[in-house]
Amino acid sequence: MLIPHAIDFTLPTRILFGTDTVNNIGEIAVEYANKAFLITNGDTMRKIGLLPKIENLLEKSGVDYILYDNITRDPSNDILDEIISLLRQSRTKLIIALGGRSVINTAKACSYVALNDGSIVDYLNGKIGENKSIPVIAIPTIPGIENVICDYAILRDSNDGIKKEIKNNAIFPKVVIYDPKINISLPQNYTFTSGVAILSNAIESYISSLANAISDSLSLRAIELVAKNLRALLLNRDDITARSAVLMGSLLTELSLLTSKVGICNALGLALSSKTEIYQNIAIAVLLPHVMEFNLTVAPNKYVQIARAFGEDISKITVVEAAIKAVEGVRKLLFDLKIPQKLSDYNVNNEDLPHIASIARRYNFLNYLPTPVSKEDLLNIMFTAYE
């Protein structure tokens, strides 16, 4: 049995980080198989020229591939089961996931279910399979996806519309390639909302009841990197140094979450994106300052460090005043990035908020907050952020 409060840090994933590292995909893939199953959103990846590049690199390395290129936001259970069936029939030995949150989660979940029995809905509703999966190489094209390097995947169950977790140690990807250069073609609003999502995940990891020396050092550095570099991309979207720093912030946050947990922002972001048209990262960006205010009095000393990471002047003021500066630093950043700060700006109906609060409260990671949160607390946070 694990000793209480022990740090359990598992990282079975190879990480490749740096400009043009995506160029290594062929030689990495061939280490696993000479035939791969490539999962992506074809329209988007073709438009930015990334899919043809990946295809060319695989072909040069002698890696044949089956292309499944119609992954869109929150694929249905039927699509997920179709992929699982194709993986089983083709006896695929390697999956390459090229894309954002939906693509990465689809690949990870299907890699696991395909080597077990049953359908995707079985696992979305608690079925546990054997500890095995098809190796996955993930190439995230959007920073701020918090569940790439981890043992779970989150997908929307199209039967009830709720986003659920499929968890097993086998779900860790074998390789993740972080290449800041491929993020340059992202629309600016994606860059900024994903950057704020990184910031939110890092802050929630930092103040979690599971936070520890490892997660603290990683998450606080991530906060500093994002806070100091996201604005630079306002002035120059091609600033590869700033883009690399933000992407590194994303990676450090993921590593911190291996021993810590996300919190209220993530729960509400999942619930809102389950039941409305708002994207998860946008919901998180809107909610972040309101959630920080909710947690301020239970983590004031850590908020002081967050304020310092934002470059706020906290000399000659009290701890509480310095903690408030952390919230102010986030609000200033959101203002500079021109991210609307009301849920009502995104066609969210306030009559749906009580049901959304109920969904959010079901997520297990809310048991590791610095202070308990009720459904009513979650509802009040959303009402505050609504107008």
Separation of alpha carbons 71 and 324, rounded Å: 42
The answer to whether residues 234 and 335 touch, using CB atoms and an 8 Å cutoff, is no
C-alpha distance from residue 67 to each of 6, 23, 39, 54 (Å): 43, 19, 6, 11
According to CATH, what is the number of the domain 188-386? 1.20.1090.10
Query: Across the strands, what pairs with 65?
Result: 36
Look up residue 110 and give its two tokens.
Answer: 């299907």
Q: Which fold has domain 14-182?
A: Rossmann fold (3.40.50)
The answer to whether residues 29 and 173 touch, using CB atoms and an 8 Å cutoff, is no
Look up residue 382 and give its two tokens.
Answer: 């959303």
Given this model, what pLDDT does residue 144 score? 75
pLDDT string in tens for the chain (387-residue length): 455 568 888 899 999 999 999 999 999 999 999 999 999 998 889 988 999 999 999 999 999 999 999 998 999 999 999 999 999 999 999 999 999 999 999 999 999 999 999 999 999 999 999 999 999 999 999 887 768 999 999 999 999 999 999 999 999 999 999 999 998 887 888 899 999 999 999 999 999 999 999 999 999 999 999 999 999 998 998 999 999 999 999 999 999 999 999 999 999 999 999 999 999 999 999 999 999 999 999 999 999 999 999 999 998 899 999 999 999 999 999 999 999 889 999 989 999 999 999 999 999 999 999 999 999 999 999 999 998
Domains of the chain, residue spans:
14-182, 188-386
Given this model, what pLDDT does residue 44 score? 86
Given this model, what pLDDT does residue 88 score? 98
